[in-house]
C-alpha cells in the first residue's frame, strides 16, 4: 500500500521544522513512507486550530502538527508526534493526542505506549494526558555529538 503523497508532504513539512537536529529524532521521507505503507500504521495531521487535515490534497490549510502511531491487537504505540515551533504551547499537541485516543478507541485499543528521551519538554503534556512511566532504557539515544541519553517508556489506558 503506497501512502498518499499529499499526506507525506504535510507530515514532512512539520517534520522539517519541529525537531532539533542535535537529537536526531526526525524521520526522513522514506522512513515515514515505509511506516505508512503498513496497514497497522496511522497518521493524523492537524492545522493550527487542531482540525484534522485530510491527506488527500483537498485542503490548502497549513499543517501545524502530526502524530504517527501503529497498533497491534488492543495496544497502540505513539511512534512520533510533532508540532511546528510557532504553534507550540497553544494546545495543538494535546489536541493531536486526544484525536489519537479517539481514533485508537475506534480500533478497539485499550492502551497506548510511547517512548521519549529523558529531558524531552513534552513530558508535562504526556503526564497531563494520563501517561505514566513504566520503564527506562539507559543510554538508548545517541545525540549528533555522540552523547547518550536515556529513553523513558510510558503507558496510558484509554
Cell 488527500 belongs to residue? 56
pLDDT at 59: 76
Dihedral-angle region of residue 14 (phi above 0 means left; psi in -120 to 50 means alpha; beta otherwise): alpha
CB count, 10 Å around CB of 157?
Answer: 10
State the chain's mean pLDDT as an integer: 94
For 79, the grid coordinates are 511512534
Sign of CA dihedral 58, 9, 70, 109: negative
pTM score = 0.93
Per-residue pLDDT at 1 exceeds 60 = no
Amino acid at each position: 500500500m503506497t501512502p498518499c503523497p499529499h499526506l507525506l508532504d504535510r507530515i514532512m513539512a512539520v517534520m522539517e521544522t519541529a525537531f532539533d537536529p542535535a537529537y536526531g529524532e526526525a524521520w526522513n521521507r522514506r522512513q515515514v513512507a515505509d511506516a505508512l505503507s503498513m496497514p497497522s500504521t496511522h497518521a493524523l495531521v492537524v492545522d493550527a486550530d487542531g482540525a484534522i487535515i485530510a491527506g488527500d490534497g483537498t485542503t490548502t490549510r497549513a499543517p501545524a502538527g502530526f502524530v504517527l502511531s501503529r497498533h497491534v491487537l488492543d495496544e497502540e504505540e505513539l511512534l512520533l508526534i510533532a508540532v511546528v515551533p510557532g504553534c507550540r504551547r497553544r494546545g495543538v499537541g494535546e489536541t493531536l493526542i486526544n484525536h489519537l485516543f479517539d481514533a485508537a478507541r475506534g480500533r478497539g485499543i485499550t492502551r497506548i505506549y510511547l517512548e521519549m528521551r529523558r529531558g524531552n519538554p513534552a513530558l508535562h503534556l504526556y503526564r497531563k494526558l494520563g501517561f505514566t512511566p513504566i520503564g527506562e532504557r539507559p543510554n538508548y539515544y545517541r545525540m549528533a555529538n555522540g552523547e547518550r541519553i536515556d529513553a523513558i517508556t510510558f503507558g496510558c489506558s484509554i
